[in-house]
Structures are given as C-alpha cells and as structure tokens.
Structure 1
Amino acid sequence: MDTASRTAIVTGGSRGIGRAVAVRLAAAGQDVAVVYSSNAKEADAAVGEIEAAGARGIALQADVADEDTIAGAFDTVEQRLGPIDVVVNAAGIMALQPIRELDLAQLDRQLRTNVRGTFVTAKEAARRIRPGGAFVAFSTSVTRLHLPAYGAYAATKGAVEALIPILAKEMGDRDVTVNAVAPGPTATELFFEGKSQQVIDRIAGLSPMNRLGTPEDVAELVAFLAGPGRWINGQIVFANGGAA
C-alpha cells in the first residue's frame, strides 16, 4: 500500500515503543502527530526524528483519558496535517506488585490510562479515521505469559483485548481495520524500571531467541497493520519472539 499523503496519530509517541512506531510510520511516508503526557523535550526529539525521516511531525500534549483534550488534539492534527488515516494508541503505564500487596491507587491509575485512555482514543478515532485507515491499540503478551506481579497491568490489557474485535465489527462498514499488538518483554525504560539484571536475563530467556525485543521489532508490525495489512482485522497480534 502507498502510505504517502497519510496522516497518523501516535499516543505515547515520545518514548519507547510509541516513539519507534512514530518514526517507522514517518519512514513509510506518513505525517505523524506525537501525543505525549508530560515530557515535552522527548516529544520534540521524536518530532525531530520524524522530520529526519522525511515526514511532517508535530507534538501535542494531551491526557489520553480526558475526552476533551484528546478531541482537541485530533482537531489540531486535522487543521495542521490533514484528515486522519491512522491512530496508534501506544500510551500506557505499568506498575508491578503482587496481587496480595496491590496498591489500589496504582490499580486505579492503570485502569484510567490503559483502559479508559484506550476507550477515549478509540472513540475519537472511530469518528475521524478516513476509509482505508487503521486503528492499532496495545495489549501485552503477559496476558498469556502470566508473570507474577503483572496482575493489575495484565488485567487492564485484557480489557483492551475485549474491545478490539467489537470495534472492528463496528468500523468494518467504513473499511477501517482495528487490531491490537501484544508485545513480549521489550527493551524500554518502562520495562527496565525497578528490575535487577538477574530478573532481566531471566525474562529475556523466555524467548527461544534468548533476548528482549526492541521497540523497532514491534514498530515493524504496527507499520504493517497500519499500512498493507488490510486483511488482518479484529485481531490481537503477538510480537514476542516466541516467548512462552
């Protein structure tokens, strides 16, 4: 598929997997709006990488769980970059605690960003994406790997997985595909935070390739779903190097 003259929005696009996705879409010829929560410096750096890839880029601050600020961000994208073709909701937070020790305030934070944020972004995307476009959300391979301490995070992503096939059916008559990508352990700041090298090595060993994924590994899949992968719809697609 020729993805030139297309416009994409990537939430959580200032760092990690979201940033790699934004740059990869730009390399495919799509103009990209990076929606970020708080780190303006990183968002501006991401825009610099988008422009270096030959596309137009802008950075917009918004809370994905707030429908007014997300609607405003979508308005700005349409005004500055044009009609929206692709929305990738990569924004998310993760706090690890055993269920017996779970801080319910942390659970509420994750529910707000990971579940409500996905619904708010999906709702706006469903109203705006042009025919032939795509919506890509993020789940996690932990919903299948069942790693200790990931209970709250996996539960929020289970809700995302429930949303995807329903939204795909609702969007089918507009020729818009809806999928979620479920990365395995990936080398990002979010993953490394609070983990010892021993734990990192053990988790990397879950894959027969004996390594962590990279943000670029995941970005390749997102770019396919957001471009030529038109017959993949309503799916949760795992990108984890065979981790089990």
Structure 2
Amino acid sequence: MTSNDDARTCRRLPGRRALVTGGSRGIGAAVARRLAAEGASVAINYHSNAQVAEALAAEISATGATAVAIQADIADPEAVGTLVDESAERLGGLEILISNAGIEHFGALREITPADFDRVFSVNLRGQLFAAQHAARHVGAGGSIVLMSSVSASTQIFDHTLYASSKAGVSAMVRNLAPELGRRGIRVNAVAPGGTATDMATEFAHRYRHPDMPELPPETAMNTMNALRRLARPEEIAAAVAFLASDDASYVTGSTLAVDGGYF
C-alpha cells in the first residue's frame, strides 16, 4: 500500500457532506480545508466576499474534493434556511453542520445600544440556533452539528459583555439541544477557541488587555494570557472541529471543547 493509500485510509469523513458557515476566511476557511482533506464534500458559506469564497472552493476542488461557495447572511433566519437547503441540494445531502459565522464586539455597558445587541446576537446566537434548526431537517442518525462558542464565554474581559454573552448562549444551546437531537442519533457540540491568528485577532487583540496593564504589542499581550504563550493557528481550531464532526467523537455530545492553549 502506498503512502497516498495510507492517507486516504486514515481520512475520517469519506463521503460526508458538510456546510461551513462563515467559511471563506480565518477559522472557517481552515475548517473547510480540513474537512475536505478528511474526505468530506464542503459547502462554503460567505456573506459578502464572493471572490475569496470562490477561490477557496476552487483551491479545494483542485485537490479532488468537492467544494461549492454559497452566499447567505446568517443574521437572516430565512436566508439561513435557504442556505442549508441549497447546500444539501448541491452536495446531494448533509451530514455535518459547522456553524462558524460570528462577529466581534467591544463596548462598555454605557455604550451598548439595542442596535448593537441585535447585530451581535442575530449572528452569534440566533444565527447559530436557526442554522442548527434547519440543518436538523437534513442531518440524520450519525450526523454532527458543531457550533462556535469562545473562551470569552467563561472568562472576564473588559468591555466584552455583549460578545461574551452571545457566546455563552451557544454553550447553553448545545447542552440543551443534545438530549433532543440525541433521540435522533445526532450529536451537537461547540468549540471555544482562544486567541487565534486571524485578521479578526489582528484587529481586536489590543482590546483583550486589562486597561491597567502597561501597553504591549497586541500579540505579546495575548501571548501572556495562555499556558502555551502563543496564538492558535486556525488549523489547530479546525483539527478540533474535525474531531467533533467525526466518528472519533461518537460519544461526545452537549459539550463545549475549549481550544485555548490553557487560557488564564
């Protein structure tokens, strides 16, 4: 048996069909690549950057896997339903949902507006709920739904209340969906990444610093906040997602897996 044969034998998701929301960049793009490398066909959801999403789909397709790019605004529940249905149609079915789309927010209590609340929760919590709801219409026994929480859901960060609350809701969601979906043989879990080397981290890393701490380069400040003293690579988060999506996690449901480098 050749080494290529060995690699194919080790793939954990052969023949599976997966939708990755927010899949065109950052963690989502790494997840799409990893699932395809594991043997899955992948629908890559994007909000506005069609060029980037189509390029990623072409990159994955060039490896011999199946990948399609589909536009949808995750903040719109009707659009989410259409996205899931189109993904299932174009892939020929659906066994996996990776609900990755999310937006960041920092703001002191006195600054938060109802519009801020609606914007953050419509994507980070409501969008994930309805993605799971619509995916559950297609996913059958043995399927997996993975939502995206955050280390912020279980720690204290200045001016991060709105975002952290939305992500804490995700962890509560998977705990309570687990027994309902478990009756149908569907597992549902979440991943809670820590600081990850993405464009979002570059933009917001300085906001994770305690205001009384001395000024440090943003990445240096982030690196002092976890045991491994570095940001995660998107591929490391994707590896955890692929584990939860696969049969290697066949007895894991209702859980939030922290992938945070030992955040403290």
Helix, strand or coil: the match of 1:135? Answer: strand
Q: Could you tell me which residue of structure 2 aligns to residue 23 of structure 1?
A: 33
Aligned equivalents of 2:171, 2:54: Cα separation in 1:
31
Choose which of 58, 67, 79 in structure 1 pairs with 2:77.
67
Q: Over aligned residues, Cα RMSD in angstroms?
A: 1.5
Q: Could you tell me which residue of structure 2 aligns to residue 216 of structure 1?
A: 235
Unaligned regions of 5+ residues in structure 1, if any? Answer: none
- Per-residue CA deviations over 1:172-194 (Å, capped at 9, x if unaligned) read 12211100000001111111115
Q: Could you tell me which residue of structure 1 aligns to residue 255 of structure 2?
A: 235
Q: In the alignment, is the contact (CA less than 8 A) between 1:83 and 1:130 conserved in 2?
A: no
Aligned equivalents of 2:81, 2:257: Cα separation in 1:
28
Choose which of 58, 66, 71 in structure 2 pairs with 1:48.
58
Q: More deviation in 184-193 or 8-17?
A: 184-193
Unaligned regions of 5+ residues in structure 2, if any? Answer: 1-10, 207-215
Q: TM-score, normalised by structure 1?
A: 0.95
1:36 aligns to 2:46 (yes or no): yes
In structure 2, give the amino acid aligned to 1:200.
E
Distance apart, 1:226 and its partner CA: 0.3
Q: More deviation in 45-54 or 35-44?
A: 45-54
Q: In the alignment, is the contact (CA less than 8 A) between 2:88 and 2:138 conserved in 1?
A: no
Q: In the alignment, is the contact (CA less than 8 A) between 2:205 and 2:222 conserved in 1?
A: no
Helix, strand or coil: the match of 2:44? Answer: strand
Q: More deviation in 116-125 or 92-101?
A: 92-101
Q: TM-score, normalised by structure 2?
A: 0.88
Q: In the alignment, is the contact (CA less than 8 A) between 1:66 and 1:120 conserved in 2?
A: no
Distance apart, 1:2 and its partner CA: 4.2
Aligned equivalents of 1:103, 1:201: Cα separation in 2:
32
Q: In the alignment, is the contact (CA less than 8 A) between 2:154 and 2:168 conserved in 1?
A: no
Matched pairs, number: 244
Q: More deviation in 40-49 or 197-206?
A: 197-206
Q: Could you tell me which residue of structure 1 aligns to residue 221 of structure 2?
A: 202
Choose which of 166, 171, 174 in structure 1 pairs with 2:184.
174
Identity %: 39
Q: In the alignment, is the contact (CA less than 8 A) between 1:164 and 1:235 conserved in 2?
A: yes
- Per-residue CA deviations over 1:177-212 (Å, capped at 9, x if unaligned) read 100000001111111115456233112211121100
- Per-residue CA deviations over 1:195-236 (Å, capped at 9, x if unaligned) read 456233112211121100111010000000001211111001
Choose which of 134, 142, 145 in structure 1 pairs with 2:155.
145
Consecutive aligned runs of 4 or more in structure 1 exceeding 6 Å deviation: none
In structure 1, give the amino acid aligned to 2:241.
V
Helix, strand or coil: the match of 1:63? Answer: coil
